[in-house]
C-alpha cells in the first residue's frame, strides 16, 4: 500500500519525503489556507519535493469552471492530480479532465455506489472518507471493503482506492487489510506507525546491556 501525506506544510513534507516512505501528497483548500501562502506557490513547491501524485483541489462547483480550474492546476507540474468533489458536476468534470490526460482524485466519497460512478467517469483515485463515516456511526472501512470488491469484479475499472480521513494507526492497518491502494495520512499518524511500547522497552534493555560491556563500535 502506498502512503500519501495529508498536509500542505512544506517542511513536514520535505522531512518525511527524505525517509523514502512518502509516495505522494494530498492537499485541500483548508490545508493550504493554514500555510498562509499563495496556493499555486505551495503546490508547485510540493511537486518539486515529491515525485508522486500531488492532489490540488478545485474550488469551483460547476462543471465548466471545475474543468477550467483543473486544467490550470495541471499546468503547475506533471505530477499534479486534480481533486474534484463527488457531485454530478464533479463526475462530469472528472470525465473531461481524464480524457484530456490529467490525473483526477475524486474526493468526498461516502458510498460504494459513488465510487462506482467515479471509476466509470475515469477517476485515477477515489477518496472514501472513513473517519467522517465513523463519526456518524457507520463503519467507514465497510465502504472501503465494498469498493475493493466491486472494483475487483471488473477488469476495466482501474481507479485506485485512496483511503482518506484517517484518524490513527488502526485505520491504516484496516485499510491495508482491505486492499486499499493508498492511505493518505496526517504527518503525526505516519510517524506514529513506527511506535510501539515494546520496541522502546526492548531498545532500552539492549542499550543498558551494551553499556555494561564498556565497548564502542566506533
Positions marked catalytic: 83
* Distance, CA of 55 to CA of 79 (rounded, Å): 9
107 three-state secondary structure: strand
Asked whether the beta carbons of 82 and 100 are under 8 A apart, the reply is: no
159 three-state secondary structure: coil
Asked whether the beta carbons of 151 and 117 are under 8 A apart, the reply is: no
Length of the chain as a residue count: 218
Asked whether the beta carbons of 43 and 72 are under 8 A apart, the reply is: no
* Distance, CA of 65 to CA of 58 (rounded, Å): 9
- In this structure, what are the phi and psi dihedrals at residue 138, rounded to the nearest 5 degrees? -95, 165
Amino acid at each position: 500500500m502506498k502512503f500519501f501525506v495529508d498536509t500542505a506544510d512544506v517542511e513536514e513534507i520535505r522531512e518525511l519525503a527524505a525517509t523514502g516512505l512518502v509516495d505522494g501528497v494530498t492537499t485541500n483548500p483548508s490545508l493550504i489556507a493554514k500555510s498562509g501562502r499563495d496556493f499555486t506557490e505551495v503546490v508547485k513547491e510540493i511537486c518539486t519535493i515529491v515525485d508522486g501524485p500531488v492532489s490540488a483541489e478545485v474550488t469551483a462547483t460547476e462543471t465548466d469552471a471545475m474543468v477550467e480550474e483543473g486544467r490550470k492546476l495541471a499546468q503547475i507540474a506533471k505530477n499534479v492530480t486534480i481533486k474534484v468533489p463527488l457531485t454530478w458536476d464533479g463526475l462530469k468534470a472528472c470525465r473531461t479532465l481524464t480524457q484530456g490526460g490529467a490525473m483526477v482524485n475524486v474526493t468526498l466519497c461516502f458510498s460504494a455506489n459513488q465510487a462506482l460512478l467515479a471509476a466509470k467517469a475515469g477517476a485515477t483515485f477515489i477518496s472514501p472518507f472513513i473517519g467522517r463515516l465513523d463519526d456518524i456511526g457507520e463503519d467507514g472501512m465497510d465502504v472501503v471493503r465494498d469498493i475493493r470488491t466491486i472494483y475487483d469484479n471488473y477488469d476495466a475499472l482501474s481507479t485506485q482506492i485512496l483511503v482518506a480521513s484517517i484518524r490513527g494507526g488502526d485505520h491504516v492497518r484496516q485499510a491495508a487489510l482491505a486492499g486499499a491502494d493508498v492511505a493518505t495520512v496526517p504527518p503525526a499518524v505516519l510517524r506514529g506507525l513506527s511506535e510501539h511500547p515494546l520496541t522502546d522497552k526492548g531498545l532500552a534493555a539492549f542499550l543498558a546491556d551494551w553499556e555494561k560491556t564498556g565497548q564502542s563500535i566506533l
